[in-house]
Chains A and B, each alone.
Chain A
């Protein structure tokens, strides 16, 4: 198992949102997280990425095998597309960005400032970053926002190539990516019960 989540309870702003969540991902598997807005998908992904600690339970994953992509792409508007990608490649100890540019059809924009790209093109640049990291576990939060159908297909292709090479992907999304091999986990079933307020002060905390 590459990623193991055991009896995980997570909280957002001190309020538990999901509890007793258990799942695991083996090599080559894709897990799609579904659930209504505010159900805790982002909190779960941030916890797995190590950005925040769980309330209880365990996340077992090699931290140096994981790459996280959140709602924001972390793109610098004044750097060119190639400079943005090159920076992340170097941070993760890689050098080659050509395959990432090709996978998301960004080659034509390579020398353009990232600030001049459209929303969908920026997202593609954000997703291309995943390819230059060379990491095994992809933890993706709403990766298809502002992508058109063609770009969604590009992304699905990238995920398919990634898992075919032994990678793992954990994706929170509302749309159908057309990945037949993906398992779906509806986090709505794990919604946390409201904490019992057992003392006077508790109501104010």
Chain B
């Protein structure tokens, strides 16, 4: 298991691994939005939590198809499936590796990008916390989508269409935590809902992804 995690992270940070792809996309969104909205600091501050969450979500989506597609193409997935590692474990580790190389950098970069969007001071703590709680769900749900579309040429489009509706609850509650935090309101309810979605996804989806992968490998 640990060997697989180390291998996946190593592959991601080496040339052509796609590390930083999500981060640069996040940066592009966050830099361009103020230009599109115009010099209205009050408006920017109001939409900042939503934009930051949306940017993070789309950045996450960008690298999903790599989770299984590369291993499928070069035959590693067949070999992993016949190895002693349980398929559920393989799926979980790959989702974890995706989070460590995509989700976690987004969480760490978010406060910096918040400045660009004039996020109110009270919002930073809650933005980081909501992203920290929400992005693992994005990776786990994304791994499920990637398992569904593995083996399809140019499956990225189908993957996005399949995964986007599943991302909506995370986006709603994640952005709500950040918005309420920024406005100094109570955040407990959306925070608990967000944590619940993440825990549920992490507990259930690896089994679904593993079952789907077994079918797709036939």
Contact = CB atoms under 8 A, between A and B. Distances in A.
Interface of A: 46, 49-53, 64, 66-76, 78-79, 83, 86-88, 90-93, 129
A78 B15 contact: yes
Given A66-B82, A79-B10, A87 B3 contact: yes
A74 B74 contact: yes
Contacts of A92: 83-84
Interface residues on B, range: 20 to 34
Contact of A68 (B4, B15, B17, B82): B82
Contact of B82 (A67, A78, A79): A67
Nearest to A12: B218
B83 A52 contact: no
A73 B82 contact: no
17 contacts: A49-B82, A50-B82, A51-B78, A51-B81, A51-B82, A51-B217, A67-B82, A70-B78, A72-B73, A72-B78, A73-B75, A74-B78, A78-B17, A79-B7, A87-B4, A88-B79, A91-B85
B120 to A, nearest CB: 43
A69 B16 contact: no
A92 B15 CA distance: 27
A84 to B, nearest CB: 9
A49 B79 CA distance: 10
A78 B79 contact: no
Given A51-B217, A52-B218, A79-B10, A72 B75 contact: yes
A67 B80 CA distance: 10
B16 A71 contact: no
A91 B217 contact: no
Contacts of B81: 51
Given A49-B82, A68-B79, 13 more contacts: A70-B78, A72-B73, A72-B75, A73-B74, A73-B75, A76-B7, A79-B10, A87-B4, A91-B3, A91-B4, A91-B83, A93-B84, A129-B79
A61 to B, nearest CB: 11
Contacts of A90: 2-3
B76 interface: yes
A47 to B, nearest CB: 10
Contacts of B73: 72
A59 B1 CA distance: 28
Contact of B11 (A71, A79, A88): A79
Interface in B1-37: 2-4, 7, 10-11, 14-17
A50 B78 CA distance: 10
Given A70-B75, A74-B76, A90-B3, A64 B84 contact: yes
